[in-house]
């Protein structure tokens, strides 16, 4: 099922990704419980340590997924085996050792040990997202360099590159280059934050997004046998728009960190354009998926890719947009509203891509012609619903937090702020439980894929559904309506944040308008998202039925013997 032997090397990275995913979600659940009950494990495993693990493993498993996906598509793009397989094996072990080292060193924060030597924190750094100590940082830099070397040496000569080569090539080089900005201790707080966002924003917005667009593009080529050239067009414009908006769009992190107020203008302007490439990318996925009416062969892979581009649109695009203006950001900044966006955007966009790539690559590497796709579907719906629930809890809870903490200026979290947020604090671990269950299903499914007896026809359960009604073909017009729906509710969310500026809220202390807009906006946005993905996937599943009717396979004969 695979053309090149070195594609097999992607498997170990996908398996590592799943293990780290599970551990990361486990830490996330501990955080959720600690939010609801701050005394939980306090003194033994403090919130800050658990959060450092949760963030770091989140980045690391996404990277493992990227690396796996890149090594899987690399030989196909190069039309030959990857160079230096031994180096890839070394990369895997170095990755594993670094992860374990980093998980262990984060715990030192409880005793105030950072390992200062030569002015650098070698064991752990205590900066959000960049918690890894300098020792791990340097090993990670070498790891990125190895990745870039393998990819660039395996690729054909530059003049033969298509847009996907360019996207991935630039992606792996920039991944390495931007990491360097996080390797220095900076005494000034404003300058430290300036460079910290250099790494975080440009990684996500400048590099990961580019790798994401390229990988989504190529996975669509594989899934739907689309022409590489047409995907190349989308990849080119996606990357261009990402960079044109994201380069100065980084300024939305420079509003309140002690940098001048002119950033408020630049950040509000350019980062409001950041959703453009995401709309574009999504639209292209729709076109590619509907260019021919080929039935879905690998449903879970497409489920996760669709989830990835939709949540990129909703989580990164719309929720990011809502808080990107100085006038809304002044309220959302430093509150729970931001993790609502971050969870949906980071897991949604990059996490789901890794899982989608794994669902494509794992059966291919294991040489499975057919596999039971029910668990994959179930896992998708569980993590999808779970992450929407988490985002909802953070967003509404965050709106309450803005009111208590910023409008009323009550800074006693235990006495004033937390009691008001309590029901939302409970919804986080509850949604987290659903998510963890989904993560478990996905991991179990991918670990054991091919070892269980394939239930060929039953594995394609929705085959009985007819391609009418909810499962009828999806027209471009209808997609436009759905998209407009998400943006409508996104607009309401934005107005909700904006309404905190009204004297009625700010001076009189009446929160009803922002609460109402938040309720309508977030509920509507997440519901439309859920329904739209359901509708999109139903229309894809409908094709299976169509194809079978066309092949005149009697439905009775498809039940397992």
Partner 1 sequence: MSCRDGERCDEGRKRLRALLVLGVMLVAFIVLSAFSFLGSRGQVTPNQFKFANFPADDGKHVFQSYNCMGCHTMVGNGAYFGPDLTEEYRKAGPAWLAAFLPSAGGWPTEAALKVQLANAVIAADAGTASLDEYYAKFPGARERVTRRTGATLMPNLPLTHEEVEKLIAYLKYTSAIDTEGWPPKVESGSLEHRLELAHRPTQLPVMATAAAAPVAAPATATASETPADPAAHGQALATQFGCNACHSTGTQRLVGPGWGGLYGSQVKLADGSTVTADDAYLAESILHPDAKVVAGFPKGTMPNYSGQLTDADVTALVAYLRSLEKPQ
User: Nearest 5°: phi and psi at 25?
Assistant: -65, -35
Nearer to partner 1 among residue 476 and residue 560 (C-beta): 476
Q: How far is the CB of 322 from partner 1 (least distance, A)?
A: 17
Burial bucket for residue 367 (CB in 10 Å: 0-12, 13-18, 19+) = exposed
Minimum Å distance from CB 411 to partner 1?
5
Q: Please, which residue, 93 or 116, has the CB nearer to partner 1?
A: 116
**From the CB of 45, what's the least distance to partner 1, in Å?**
10
Please report how close the Cβ of residue 245 comes to partner 1 at its closest, in angstroms: 10
Q: Which is nearer to partner 1, 192 or 558 (CB)?
A: 192
- Determine whether 530 is exposed, middle or buried from the number of CB atoms within 10 Å of its CB (0-12, 13-18, 19+): middle
Q: Which is nearer to partner 1, 416 or 546 (CB)?
A: 416
Q: Which is nearer to partner 1, 227 or 550 (CB)?
A: 227
Q: How far is the CB of 38 from partner 1 (least distance, A)?
A: 4
Note whether 468 and 541 are within 8 A (CB).
no
Query: Cβ of residue 159: shortest distance to partner 1, in angstroms?
Result: 10
CA gap 476, 221 in Å, rounded: 20
For residues 398 and 420, give the distance between their C-alpha atoms in angstroms, rounded to a whole number: 11
Quick one: tokens of 507?
């001076």
Please say which residue, 469 or 503, places its beta carbon nearer to partner 1: 503
Nearer to partner 1, 79 or 229 (CB): 229
Q: Which is nearer to partner 1, 89 or 188 (CB)?
A: 188
Picking from 386, 400, 268, 373, the residue whose alpha carbon sits closest to that of residue 327 is 268
| Cβ 236 to partner 1 shortest distance, Å | 5
- Classified as helix, coil or strand, 541 is helix
CB of 455: closest distance to partner 1 in angstroms? Answer: 37
Q: Which residues contact 397 (CB under 8 A, 6 or more apart)?
A: 336, 421, 424, 425, 427, 428
- Residue 219 CA to residue 226 CA, distance in Å, equals 10
Measured from the CB of residue 223, what is the shortest distance to partner 1 in angstroms? Answer: 16
Contacts of 346 (CB under 8 A, 6+ apart): 58, 62, 204, 315
Of 454, 511, 519, nearest in space to 492 by CA: 519
Nearer Cβ to partner 1, position 38 or 440?
38
Listed in sequence order, the DSSP H helices in 180-314 are: 189-201, 209-224, 228-249, 262-271, 275-291, 299-311
Nearer of residues 142 and 247 to partner 1, judged by Cβ? 247
Query: Which residues, at least 6 apart from 410, have a Cβ–Cβ distance to it below 8 Å?
Result: 404, 416, 417
Determine how many CB atoms are found less than 10 A away from the CB of residue 420.
17
Of 284 and 377, nearer to partner 1 (C-beta) is 284
Q: How far is the CB of 339 from partner 1 (least distance, A)?
A: 7
Task: Give the C-alpha separation, 295 to 265, whole Å.
Answer: 48
Which tokens go with 203? Answer: 């990684």
Q: Least distance (Å) from partner 1 to the CB of residue 233? A: 4
Q: How far apart are CA 205 and CA 414, in angstroms?
A: 35
């Amino acid at each position: 099922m695979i053309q090149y032997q070195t594609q097999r090397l992607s498997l170990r990275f996908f398996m590592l990704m799943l293990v780290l995913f599970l551990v990361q979600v486990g830490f996330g659940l501990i955080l959720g419980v600690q939010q609801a009950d701050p005394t939980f494990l306090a003194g033994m495993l403090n919130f800050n340590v658990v959060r450092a693990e949760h963030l770091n493993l989140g980045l690391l498993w996404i990277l493992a997924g990227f690396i796996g996906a890149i090594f899987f598509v690399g030989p196909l793009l190069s039309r030959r085996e990857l160079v230096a397989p031994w180096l890839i094996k070394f990369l895997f072990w170095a990755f594993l050792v670094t992860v374990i080292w980093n998980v262990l060193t984060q715990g030192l924060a409880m005793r105030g040990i950072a390992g200062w030597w030569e002015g650098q924190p070698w064991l752990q750094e205590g900066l959000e997202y960049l918690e890894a100590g300098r020792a791990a940082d340097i090993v990670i830099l070498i790891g990125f360099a190895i990745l870039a070397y393998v990819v660039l040496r395996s690729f054909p000569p530059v003049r033969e590159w298509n847009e996907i080569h360019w996207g991935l090539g630039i992606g792996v080089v920039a991944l390495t280059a931007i990491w360097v900005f996080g390797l220095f201790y900076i005494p000034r707080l404003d300058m430290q934050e300036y460079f910290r966002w250099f790494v975080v924003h440009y990684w996500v917005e400048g590099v990961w997004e580019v790798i994401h667009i390229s990988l989504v593009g190529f996975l669509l080529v594989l899934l739907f046998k689309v022409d590489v050239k047409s995907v190349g067009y989308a990849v080119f414009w996606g990357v261009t728009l990402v960079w044109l908006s994201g380069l100065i769009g980084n300024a939305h992190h420079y509003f309140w960190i002690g940098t001048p107020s002119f950033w408020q203008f630049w950040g509000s302007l350019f980062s409001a354009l950041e959703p453009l490439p995401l709309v574009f990318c999504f639209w292209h996925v729709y076109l590619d998926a509907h260019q021919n009416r080929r039935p879905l062969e690998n449903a879970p892979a497409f489920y996760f890719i669709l989830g990835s581009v939709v949540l990129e649109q909703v989580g990164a695009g719309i929720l990011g947009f809502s808080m990107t203006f100085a006038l809304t950001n002044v309220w959302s900044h430093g509150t729970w509203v931001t993790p609502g966006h971050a969870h949906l955007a980071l897991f949604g966009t990059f996490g789901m891509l890794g899982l989608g790539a794994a669902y494509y690559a794992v059966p291919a590497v294991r040489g499975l012609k057919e596999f039971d796709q029910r668990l994959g579907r179930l896992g998708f719906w569980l993590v999808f619903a779970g992450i929407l629930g988490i985002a909802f809890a953070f967003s509404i809870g965050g709106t309450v937090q803005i009111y208590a903490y910023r409008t009323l200026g009550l800074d006693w979290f235990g006495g004033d702020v937390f009691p008001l947020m309590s029901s939302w604090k409970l919804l986080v671990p509850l949604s987290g439980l659903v998510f963890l269950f989904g993560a478990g299903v996905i991991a179990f499914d991918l670990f054991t894929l091919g070892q269980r007896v394939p239930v060929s026809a039953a594995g394609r359960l929705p085959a009985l559904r007819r391609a009418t009604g909810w499962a009828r073909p999806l027209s471009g017009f209808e997609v436009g309506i759905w998209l407009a729906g998400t943006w409508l509710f996104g607009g309401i969310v934005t107005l909700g944040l904006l309404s905190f500026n009204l004297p009625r809220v700010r001076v009189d202390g009446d929160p009803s308008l922002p609460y109402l807009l938040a309720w309508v906006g977030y509920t509507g946005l997440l519901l439309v998202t859920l329904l739209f993905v359901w509708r999109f996937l139903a229309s894809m599943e409908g094709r299976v039925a169509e194809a079978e009717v066309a092949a005149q396979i009697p439905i009775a004969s498809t039940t397992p013997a």
